Amino acid sequence: MMIIALFAGLLVLVLVGFPIILAIGTTGLVGIILVPTLAPALFPQKMFAMLDSFSLLALPYFILAGAMMSEGGLSKILVNFAQTLVGHIRGSLGHTVVVSCTAMANVSGSSAAEAAAIGQVMAPAMARAGYKPGLSAAIIATSATIGPIIPPSMTMIVYGAMTGVSVGGLFIAGLLPGLAMAAALMTVIFAMSYLPAFPELRVTLPRASVRDILRATGRAWAALLAPGIILGGIFSGIFTATEAGIVAVVYSFLASYFFYRTLKLADLPAIFLDAAITTTLVVGIIAVAGSMSYLLAYLDFNQAMLGFIRRISDNGTVVLLTLLAIMFTLCMFLESLAVLIILVPVISYVGNAFAIDPLQLGIVMVMSTQIGATTPPVAVLLFIGTSVCKTSYSEAVKYCWPFVFTLVAVMLLLVFVPPLTTLLPRMAGLGQ
């Protein structure tokens, strides 16, 4: 009953408008106070214990690297590069959004940042081409889910820090799933271009010449090289995934300041401040969720969940689908990162009990949080999409479903075909 009361209290606080960090913190603190055998001092102690992780040191560096590249106008450069590659295909601007988000994922690691950065560039162009604002918002929001799947990924860093799973392994494991998501979304956009209801998707741009493609590539290569340096360094053992964050910051500064010359030294204080604020918000959620996770573990939530799932099935695939359903449903109503942090201990516990590959489990769980962030009623990415496209939430929801179902299909493919997530890490010697 105590566990049910905790989740009910958390949901009520969120629904009445509490910021997610206060909702989780209040629920965790009150819960610890109400348990007679626990001391209130455990609340701050477990908060600090949650943050005592070497892997989490990479978080502020990757946030800072993404802020530098974004401030340096990288989104416009990547959009231009994407447009030269796919602008001539039916669904031209929709494909450009998907490819831009895939390229931007190499430096941002955040779906929200990606939706805002690419959306600000593409929304006006899509409006001029006659795209329905709701359709534009849906494409931008669902394409942004690729951000935390293709490395580097802040969500994967958090997951790895909390479970002990190799962050470098998670990074490499996300490559094929991220590309699969991009291909699936582009397939849907292309198919929709043949429907009478979407004449705007039939509008294409002239095919870019070889010279145009080479010029765009020459402009974008410094940004596109970032993941190669990061993953190459991890793969070769030159630096760890945590140290890769520092490398990413140095590379982002060099690329933005010396190569693109779009970053000024006067911009750095604002960039540092913005990155510090973002880091504080993310770390704050991790800390309070850590105390909440401890309370749930103390109340034997892990064992209760394991027993509940064993009553459903002993088949690992069915168990994984059940965990996905729980995670996906919760992310439809609550902030996805907070849900992931709270449930990571029980997810890892159940996954180990059923011998589910930890890399496969990590990737599909991260993906479920992102798809949940595009699914009503609480769809953070859709809200960002509606903001940049200047349309209503209900209008965006109307057009989001084909893309959401497509992403769910890709996620299910990863469940039934584990090598899509485990093959590359094992080749790199980072399998679990």
pLDDT, tens digit, for every residue of 4-21? 888 888 888 877 878 888
User: Is residue 13 in a domain?
Assistant: no
CA 235 vs. chain centroid, Å, equals: 22
Report pLDDT for 108: 67
Phi, psi of 335, rounded to the nearest 5 degrees: -60, 125
Residue 426: band (very low, low, confident or very high) from pLDDT cuts 50, 70, 90: confident
Q: Using an 8 Å Cβ cutoff, are 369 and 413 in contact?
A: no
User: Is residue 12 in a domain?
Assistant: no
> What's the mean pLDDT in 115-130?
88
Residue 432: band (very low, low, confident or very high) from pLDDT cuts 50, 70, 90: low
User: Is residue 2 in a domain?
Assistant: no
Report pLDDT for 72: 67
pLDDT surpassing 70 at residue 152: yes
User: What is the rounded (10 degree) CA torsion for 291, 295, 298, 301?
Assistant: -120
pLDDT surpassing 90 at residue 250: no
User: Is residue 353 in a domain?
Assistant: yes
User: Is residue 25 in a domain?
Assistant: no
Domain that holds residue 200: 42-427
Between 123 and 244, whose confidence is greater? 123
The rounded distance, in Å, linking the Cα atoms of 271 and 20 is 25
Report pLDDT for 336: 81
User: Is residue 362 in a domain?
Assistant: yes
Max mean pLDDT among 17-21, 56-60, 417-421 falls in 417-421
pLDDT surpassing 90 at residue 164: no
Residue 186: band (very low, low, confident or very high) from pLDDT cuts 50, 70, 90: very high
Q: Using an 8 Å Cβ cutoff, are 164 and 172 in contact?
A: no
Q: How many domains does the chain have?
A: 1
User: Is residue 46 in a domain?
Assistant: yes
Report pLDDT for 296: 87
The rounded distance, in Å, linking the Cα atoms of 53 and 57 is 7
3-state helix vs strand vs coil in the chain, percent to 5: 80, 0, 20
> What's the mean pLDDT in 41-59?
84
Which range has the worst mean pLDDT, 7-16, 296-305, 343-352?
7-16
> What's the mean pLDDT in 118-136?
91
In this structure, the chain runs to a length of 432
Q: Using an 8 Å Cβ cutoff, are 249 and 72 in contact?
A: no
User: Is residue 3 in a domain?
Assistant: no
Q: What is the pTM of this model?
A: 0.87
Report pLDDT for 32: 92
Report pLDDT for 142: 95
The position carrying tokens 């031209």 is 92
